[in-house]
Amino acid sequence: MPETNIMKKILFGLTLILLAGCGKENKKSDSNEFVLDFNSQKKFIYTYSQTSTSETQWKKNEAFQKTKSDANGQLNIRIKENNLADLSVTNLKTNLITLDDKGVAVDTMSNTTQAMVIQNMNQKGGFENYDHNIMFDLIFPLPTKNLKIGETDKIPMQIPFNVNGSKLYIKGFNEIKYSGTKVLNGTECAVLNGTIDISELEIPEELESLYESKTTGNGTYYFNLKDKYFVGADINIIMATSSSPKTENSENNLVFGTMKNSTEITIRLKEIEK
């Protein structure tokens, strides 16, 4: 009888070990954490190119003013202390072409833009300050949670919108999907596809005006999962705004505005300075 009890205890212990082992196996996940490695101070240098077309109309009975631009420069991420970084665009050379109603160039201006710096980029590609250009938030976004291939994460976004001194916000999201992997410039990358829609604008009735603003588009982001940095990004954005305040001049179309801008951005890692 004692031997029987001993055998039962042994079998019971083995069963617990097997169950525990099965439990660990079930909990095993192939999800990945997406976070930038800001542990050591270094500088990531990227090539940056942007092409844009714009159409603007100030009166309903006037033709659209059309412009086209291309810009090429350098985008930098300089890692600082406290797991933060500064993002900057430098040496940006821009050509601005004014077109007539037939799309023929009538004027061209060229200049080199002064350096633009946005401080305190965090390890998820976001910034503490909401007053900067929304394009910086769309350059290198990362999911806020771990993802498996095929899973998505919706990142909330907002754009400041000024109406005659009233500061409003257009709200929306960049929905990031972990689509798979791809080798880019010799580096194996996780491919993140973003669907951008920032078009929720609530106008208080006190303003008594008609305003619309929509930012839509998509992005493909290439992220080195092993070493935790971006290798590149391809982004397409369409921004459309219109305004028609209800004033005594509105019947004569004197107070009116509509603008549509289409932008394509290509970013590729050039080098890492340590």
Task: Give domain limits for the chain.
Answer: 1-29, 31-273
Q: DSSP assignment, residue 32? A: B
- Round to whole Å and give the CA distance between 175 and 219: 10
Cβ count within 10 A of residue 1: 5
Q: Which CATH number fits domain 31-273: 2.30.230, 3.90.25, 1.10.1220, 1.10.357?
A: 2.30.230
C-alpha dist (Å) from residue 133 to 54, 99, 125, 130, 175 = 17, 26, 14, 8, 19
Q: Which residue has the higher pLDDT, 20 or 256?
A: 256
Q: What is the pLDDT of residue 103?
A: 81
As to burial, measured by CB atoms within 10 angstroms (0-12 exposed, 13-18 middle, 19+ buried), residue 178 is buried
- Which of the two residues, 131 and 78, has the higher pLDDT score? 78
CA distances from 242 to 28, 57, 100 (A): 51, 9, 22
Evaluate if residue 142 carries a pLDDT over 80.
Answer: yes
Supply 53's token pair. 């077309």
What pLDDT score was predicted for residue 16? 40
Q: Is the model's pLDDT at 147 over the cut of 70?
A: yes
**Smallest Cα–Cα separation from 78: which of 38, 49, 35, 138?**
38
pLDDT interval class at 131 (50, 70, 90): low
Residue 233 has pLDDT above 90, yes or no: yes
Q: Which of 15-24, 117-126, 186-195 has the highest mean pLDDT?
A: 186-195
Give me the DSSP letters along 235-248. Answer: EEEEEEEEEEE-ST
User: What are the structure tokens assigned to 208, written together?
Assistant: 């008594």
The helix (run of H) or strand (run of E) holding residue 259 is strand 257-273
Per-residue pLDDT band at 273 (split at 50, 70, 90)? very high
The pLDDT value recorded for residue 256 is 65
pLDDT at 26: 34
33-to-26, 131, 144 alpha-carbon distances in Å: 19, 28, 9
**pLDDT attached to residue 28:** 36
* CA distances for 119 relative to 101, 131, 157, 233, 254, angstroms: 41, 12, 18, 20, 40
pLDDT 10s digits, 206-216: 876 778 889 99
260 close to 57: Cβ distance less than 8 angstroms: no
Q: How far is CA 102 from CA 65, 66, 99, 114, in A?
A: 11, 10, 7, 33
Give the count of beta carbons closer than 10 Å to the beta carbon of residue 212.
14
Least Cα distance to 237 among 185, 206, 199, 180 occurs for 199
- Burial annotation 49-69 (CB, 10 A radius, 16+ → b, else e): ebebbbbebeeeeeeeebbbb
